[in-house]
Structure 1
Amino acid sequence: MITLRQLRYLSALAKHGHFGRAAEACAVTQPALSMQIRDLERTLGVAVVERRPGETMLTEVGREIARRGENVLAASRDLVDFARHRGGLLVGRLTLGVIPSLAPYLLPRMLPPLQNRFPDLRLELRETQTR
Structure 2
Amino acid sequence: MTLTELRYIIALQETGHFGKAAERCFVSQPTLSVAVKKLEEELAVSLFERSRGQVTCTPIGEQIIEQSRYVLEQSERIRELAAQGRDPLGSPMALGAIHTVGPYLYPRAIPRIRELAPQMPLYVEENMTAILRGRLRSGKLDAIVIALPFNEPEVVTQTLYDEPFVVLLPGDHPLAAKSHIKHSDLYQQNVLLLGEGHCFRDQVLAACPGLQQHLARSDRLLQSVVEGSSLETLKHMVASKLGISILPLSAAQVGPYGDGMLCTRPFAGTPPTREIALAWRASFPRHQAIDVISQAIKTAHSDYPTT
Tell me the TM-score normalised to structure 1 length.
Answer: 0.66
**CA spacing shift, 1:68–1:92, aligned 2, 3 Å:** farther
- Offset of 1:5 from its aligned partner? 0.5
Amino acid at match of 2:67: R
Separation of aligned partners in 2, 1:27 and 1:69 = 19
After TM superposition, list the pairs within 5 Å mapping 1:41-120 onto structure 2.
Answer: 41-88=40-87, 90-91=90-91
Q: Contact between 1:81 and 1:92, CA under 8 Å: does it hold in 2?
A: no
5+ residue gaps, structure 1: 94-120, 122-131
2:16: which partner in 1? 17
Matched, 1:26 2:25: yes
Return closer, same or farther for 1:45/1:12 CA change in 2, 3 Å cut-off. Answer: same
User: What amino acid sits opposite 2:57 in the alignment?
Assistant: L
Over the residues paired in the alignment, what is the CA RMSD in angstroms? 1.8
Q: What SS does the corresponding residue of 1:57 show, helix, strand or coil?
A: strand
Write out per-residue CA displacement over residues 4-53 of structure 1, whole angstroms, 9 at most, x where no aligned residue. 01100011011111111111000001110101100100110001011101
Q: How far apart, CA to CA, are the structure 2 residues paired with 1:67 and 1:92?
A: 27
Matches of 1:52 and 1:58, distance apart in 2: 11
Gaps in structure 2 of 5+ consecutive residues: 94-120, 122-307
Q: Which has the higher contact order (CA 8 A, sep 6+)?
A: 2
**Are residues 1:36 and 2:40 paired?**
no
Task: Determine helix, strand or coil for the equivalent of 2:46.
Answer: coil
Structure number with larger C-alpha Rg? 2
Tell me, in whole angstroms, the C-alpha distance in 1 between the residues paired with 2:6 and 2:92. 22
1 CA distance for matches of 2:25 and 2:52? 22
User: Equivalents in 1 of 2:39, 2:22: separation in Å?
Assistant: 16
Higher helix share: 1
Query: 1:56–1:91: structure 2 CA closer, same or farther, 3 Å change rule?
Result: farther
1:80-101 deviations in Å (ceiling 9; x for gaps): 11111111174569xxxxxxxx
Counterparts of 2:91 and 2:22 in 1: how far apart (Å)?
Answer: 27
- 34 and 84 in structure 1: CA distance in 2 versus 1, 3 angstrom threshold: same
Task: Map Cα deviations across residues 38-73 of structure 1 (whole Å, 9 max, x no partner).
Answer: 010011000101110111111111111110000000
Number of matched residues? 93
Distance change >3 Å, CA 41–CA 91, structure 1 → 2: farther
* 1:11 and 1:70 in contact (8 A); partners too: yes
